[in-house]
Amino acid sequence: MLPILYSFRRCPFAMRARWAVLEAGLVVHWREIELKRKPVEMLECSAKGTVPVMVLPDGTVIDESEAVMRWALAQADPRGLLLRDDAPALISENDEVFKHHLDRFKYTDRYPGESRDEHRDAGLRILVGWSQRLEQHPWLLGPAISLADAALWPFVRQWRLADPDGFEANGELGPLRVWLNRFLEDPSFERLMQRADPWCAGGLQPLFPADATAVPLDEPLFHLALKDDWEQAQDTSKYQWSTRGMRLDQVGFIHCSWQEQVAKTFERFYADAGDVLLLEIDPKRLTAPLRADAVPTGELFPHLYGPLPIEAVRSITPYGSDG
């Protein structure tokens, strides 16, 4: 059984929950809601009536977005987002303070007596502080992406949508614009923002992500590895290269293939790579999530969202142009 995720496409809290599902290599039942007609089934799970709501196969309900993110990344965290323990302070500043000003700046007519300019100025002070953090390193808490980055960017995007000219013209927000564009220009953003009709019990039961599927465990997977990378992995008992020249923590998953895909993968990426090995993998011995994701051509490729245990490799064969 798969978890169920109640979501609303444009809600920043729901966006960051879906982002974490993508990051962790998970597949969930996707129930897009209408805000004016929330499903009874969702309200029975979570009376507060806000998204996201995750219902796990054992019936456990998670109805806070940060908790959904942490649950998803506890299943697989290939880029180590949970390693920075100073993320909660920034997330709290966003959720409790910045969101307050964002709502009153963007939707002033919903808050009689509130000053749009005052909330704009207060929100900008927070944004400038975040931008200053990014002057020395590419992510909010250092050289690597963290949970704070993943939790905050949908809200910064929403601010930009509320005041696009001001956001682009503000010289103090230059580093923040670069940071935000890393998320918006990543291929995962299009997947994150896929559309679905509002869910109803008798209608279609889509999956999220919509362009992915589970990987069957009854047929082997294959991975092309450089010989040196594979030999180095023996020291740790875990292989952590995604593809040629790129590590798991850079890409977020290990590229795999089904048998009929191996030859073309070799031709495209490994033909001039020197000593190449073909690893045959037993998917039943993997501990990290597997998901088949669509590449730009539309073809599905299996991806492993965590390290490859050495013991999951059935056979190792030299592979070349005639292999």
Compute the Cα dihedral for 59, 60, 65, 69 and give only its sign: negative
Same domain, 86 and 149: yes
Enter the tokens of residue 297: 């051509």
Q: Do 58 and 69 form a contact (C-beta atoms < 8 A)? A: no
pLDDT at 61: 98
Q: pLDDT tens across 101-154, in order?
A: 999 999 999 999 999 999 999 999 999 999 999 999 999 999 999 999 999 999
Q: Any residues with CB less than 8 A from the CB of 288 and at least 6 apart, and which?
A: 25, 76, 78, 304, 305, 306, 307
pLDDT tops 70 at residue 321: no
What pLDDT is stored for residue 221 in this prediction?
98
Confidence tier at 297 by pLDDT (50, 70, 90)? confident
Query: Is 90 exceeded by the pLDDT of residue 320?
Result: no
Q: Residue 265 forms beta bridges with which residues?
A: none
- Mention every residue, 6+ apart, whose C-beta is less than 8 A from residue 166: 120
Do 219 and 310 sit in the same domain of this protein? yes
CATH assignment of the domain containing 277: 3.20.170.20
Regarding whether 255 and 140 lie in a shared domain, the answer is no
Q: Based on the domain organization, do 307 and 168 belong to the same domain?
A: no
Provide the β-strand partners of residue 55. Answer: 4, 61
The predicted model gives 202-217 an average pLDDT of 93
Rg (CA), the chain: 22
127 and 184, same domain (yes or no): yes
Euclidean distance between CA atoms 306 and 7, whole angstroms: 26
Q: What is the predicted pLDDT for the residue at 84?
A: 85
Q: Which of 167, 187, 210 is the last residue of a domain?
A: 210
Shared domain check, 217 and 196: no
Answer yes or no: pTM beyond 0.75: yes
Regarding whether 262 and 178 lie in a shared domain, the answer is no
Task: Please list, residue by residue across 91-126, b when 16 or more beta carbons sit within 10 angstroms of its beta carbon and e when fewer do.
Answer: bebbbeebbebbbbbbebeeeeeeeeeebbebbbeb
The answer to whether residue 296 scores a pLDDT higher than 90 is no
What is the pLDDT confidence band of residue 323, given thresholds at 50, 70 and 90? very low
pLDDT of 39 strictly over 80 = yes
Q: Containing domain of residue 278, as a range? A: 213-319
Tokens 């103090």 map to which residue? 172
Q: Which of 210, 239, 265 is the last residue of a domain?
A: 210
Would you say residue 11 has pLDDT above 60? yes
Residue range 59-106, pLDDT digits in tens: 999 999 999 999 999 999 999 999 988 999 999 999 999 999 999 999
Claim to verify: residue 110 and residue 242 sit in the same structural domain: no
Same domain, 202 and 64: yes
Q: Dihedral sign for Cα 249, 307, 292, 146, please.
A: negative
Give the burial string for 293-317 (b: 16+ CB within 10 Å, else e).
beeeeeebbbbbbbbbbeebbeeee
Domains identified in the chain, total number: 2
Looking at the structure, tell me whether residues 86 and 175 fall in a common domain: yes
Q: What is the CATH number of the domain that holds 149?
A: 1.20.1050.130
* 92 and 104 part of one domain: yes
CB 253 within 8 A of CB 303: yes
Q: Which of 194, 210, 226 is the last residue of a domain?
A: 210
Q: Are strands 241-243 and 300-304 parallel, antiparallel or unpaired?
A: unpaired
Tokens of 291: 């998901």
Tell me: do 86 and 99 sit in the same domain.
yes
